[in-house]
Structure 1
Amino acid sequence: MSEHVIEISDLSRRFGKKQALDNVSLSVPEGAVFGLVGENGAGKTTLLKHVLGFLKPQQGTVRVFGLDPVADPPGVLGRIGHLSETRDLPTWMTIRELFEFTRAFYPKWDPVYAEELRMMFELSLNQKVPTLSRGQLARAGLLLALAHRPPLLVLDEPSSGLDPVVRKDILDAIIRTVVDEGRTVLFSSHLLDEVQRVSDRVAILDQGKILLTSPLDEVLVSHYQLTVSFQEPQPFFPELEGALTWSGSGREWKIICNGQKQELEVALQELKAEILEQAAPTLEEIFVARMKSAARSSFEE
């Protein structure tokens, strides 16, 4: 098997007139936590459905553990723990019945680990699924995804709409399972601070296209935020190579930049602008800058 648990090459998918995925290629290495970020409708869930074999590629290929998830569902799905954003669980069951029902599908179900997670997530065995809060549903779904100790976790917005305590539980479970056992996680999220906290690698999706895919450390190091001051007030910020986005007015402006730092500094000197401060932007700030830059480029085209 390749060192990459997931390999996606030139994947495209259209629903009617909407291009949901457009020539997407990315690889998820074994033992990594891979964060997939993008706005609603960017194609994150569609991409995850292809990984799970729920959708057949119209163009390109998807391989999970070296296998085609559409052609070989037993060989792929039995090794994946999946948590969907909808948290769909059988409504006629108690937590105990839900565990026993799910356990029957997974020979490697670990009852000791399942009980450990149940206690950590504070779930009662006698509680019925319809009475669970949204947070409890997320905890129960994550428990089912983890308890058979799959080598790959695929999580779609695992902490969406949840309170901070529940989100921390979920993130802690992800971190522990990867650190302790070297498993692989692919998850989508719009909560960029959490993606930054747990991810080794990230990919930014925009309107079905990959804007960026790289190790998180490289993304953070290659972007920077500058506060600059011009001698004279500026009615608008000048177009500069490497400047993704900018905000401010008059003399003082803040810009988010990507690479080409020396060229940008020379251009600012030629404009008689002084760099007052340099800071490291967060992943969320980088994401917003990338999205604005992509929207501007699309508009200009």
Structure 2
Amino acid sequence: MQSPLNDETDCVVDIRNLVRQFGHVKALDGVSLQVPRGAVYGIVGVNGAGKTTLLKHVLGLLKPQRGTVTILGRDPVRDPVGVLARLGYLSEQHEMPDWMRIGELLAYTGSFYPTWSNAYVTELVQSFQLSRDAKVQTLSKGQRARVGLVLALAHRPEILVLDEPSSGLDPIVRRDILAAIIRTISEEGRTVIFSSHLLDEVERVADHIAMLHQGRLLYSGTFDEMRAKFRRVTVRFQGPQDVPPVLPDAIGWAGGGYEWTAIYRGQGDELQAAATMAGGEIVEEKQLSLDEIFVAHAGSEPPLATIREAT
């Protein structure tokens, strides 16, 4: 379980019991999440899980119907200037004025930010092989993504919010975006909130994970904690079993007869004791990828709200 934050300054994003409903659809169902300063928080879930709706509340684009959202100690709806001036944002849409040249767009955007760094812009433009003279309307989707990342990073925001930033992009552009995120973290210690359905990408850069499914928070905590909690185990019995054994915290049994396999959440000694009581023996344990853990939980019925961790 993640250790509690030391004081209010350690928590840059504080979301409590957030509810958002669109008609009969509950997009967010009592979500609570705390993002510590300097963390890379990966928010994962299938399309429609509530990731974008959650980030719109962080940006102050949606007002909570119930619950609270506090960003850097401020309400993003009541104080949008105070919050947005300290955030960088990149979405998968990459919406920009087509008639502008890249250089004009950079100069225009920079005029709104006192902390805008022209030297950093030049570094990023060169790194991404962009031409300041190119018109936005001529850019490929990948080039638009690179320009969008320059705009998000150039004022050196305290929090970088990325909503499916590499969705639909080729592997080279995805690599550039991830490299820029890693550089931002390692060199400047910024906080990054990174939503994606591409779990392998999140796994590469995130040190904290939040799993959303149908608007509910299934899990939140550090990556290391999650890896330690979840693993695939195979239990062998002395006699054939017609139905899966009843073991606490086991998810998604498969197999039959003498051997059954499941994903297990908990301590190894607890599982071994439970398996022994059921007449079985653990014969194999395997560490899981983020993708395997998410699929197991998102596919469980009902959603495992009980695996929520306090952040």
- Judge same fold: TM > 0.5, yes or no: yes
Q: Which residue of the partner structure matches residue 245 of structure 1?
A: 252
Amino acid at match of 2:132: L
Q: After superposition, what is the alpha-carbon deviation per residue over 1:65-89, rounded to whole angstroms, capped at 9, x for unaligned?
A: 1000000111000111000121111
Asked whether 1:288 is paired with 2:291, we answer no
Asked whether 1:170 is paired with 2:181, we answer no
Q: Which residue of the partner structure matches residue 97 of structure 2?
A: 90
The percent identity for this pair of structures is 56
CA shift in 2, pair 1:69/1:296, >3 Å: closer
Give, in angstroms, the shift of residue 287 of structure 1.
0.9
Q: What residue ranges of structure 1 are gaps of 5+ in the alignment? A: none
Q: Which residue of the partner structure matches residue 53 of structure 1?
A: 60
CA shift in 2, pair 1:256/1:103, >3 Å: same
Does the 8 A contact of 1:242 with 1:261 survive in 2?
Answer: no
Which of 26, 33, 38 is the matching residue for 2:45? 38
**Cα separation, 1, equivalents of 2:213 and 2:152:** 28
**Cα separation, 2, equivalents of 1:220 and 1:173:** 26
CA shift in 2, pair 1:41/1:8, >3 Å: same
DSSP 3-state at the match of 2:14: strand
**Cα separation, 1, equivalents of 2:304 and 2:115:** 50
Amino acid at match of 2:298: M
DSSP 3-state at the match of 2:146: helix
Does the 8 A contact of 2:297 with 2:303 survive in 1?
Answer: no
Which of 218, 222, 225 is the matching residue for 1:211? 218
Q: After superposition, what is the alpha-carbon deviation per residue over 1:212-262, rounded to whole angstroms, capped at 9, x for unaligned?
A: 111111111111111333445545433421211233344444321100433
Q: What residue ranges of structure 2 are gaps of 5+ in the alignment? A: 1-7, 306-311
Amino acid at match of 1:36: I
Q: After superposition, what is the alpha-carbon deviation per residue over 1:149-193, rounded to whole angstroms, capped at 9, x for unaligned?
A: 111101101111222221111111111111111111111111112
CA shift in 2, pair 1:173/1:294, >3 Å: farther
**Cα separation, 1, equivalents of 2:198 and 2:170:** 12
DSSP 3-state at the match of 1:93: coil
Q: Which residue of the partner structure matches residue 309 of structure 2?
A: none
Q: Which residue of the partner structure matches residue 101 of structure 1?
A: 108
**Cα separation, 2, equivalents of 1:140 and 1:187:** 18
CA shift in 2, pair 1:33/1:248, >3 Å: same
**Cα separation, 1, equivalents of 2:254 and 2:138:** 47
**Cα separation, 2, equivalents of 1:10 and 1:234:** 42
Q: Which residue of the partner structure matches residue 256 of structure 1?
A: 263
Aligned pairs, how many?
Answer: 298
Give, in angstroms, the shift of residue 266 of structure 1.
2.9
Q: Which residue of the partner structure matches residue 28 of structure 1?
A: 35
CA shift in 2, pair 1:169/1:230, >3 Å: same
DSSP 3-state at the match of 2:217: strand
DSSP 3-state at the match of 1:25: strand
Question: After superposition, where does 1:1-301 map in structure 2 within 5 Å?
Answer: 2-295=9-302
**Cα separation, 1, equivalents of 2:9 and 2:303:** 38
Give, in angstroms, the shift of residue 106 of structure 1.
1.2
Does the 8 A contact of 1:242 with 1:260 survive in 2?
Answer: no
Amino acid at match of 1:293: S
Does the 8 A contact of 1:244 with 1:292 survive in 2?
Answer: no
Amino acid at match of 2:268: K
DSSP 3-state at the match of 2:9: coil
DSSP 3-state at the match of 1:62: strand
DSSP 3-state at the match of 1:289: helix
Q: Would you identify which runs of 4 or more consecutive aligned residues in structure 1 move more than 6 Å?
A: none
CA shift in 2, pair 1:169/1:236, >3 Å: farther
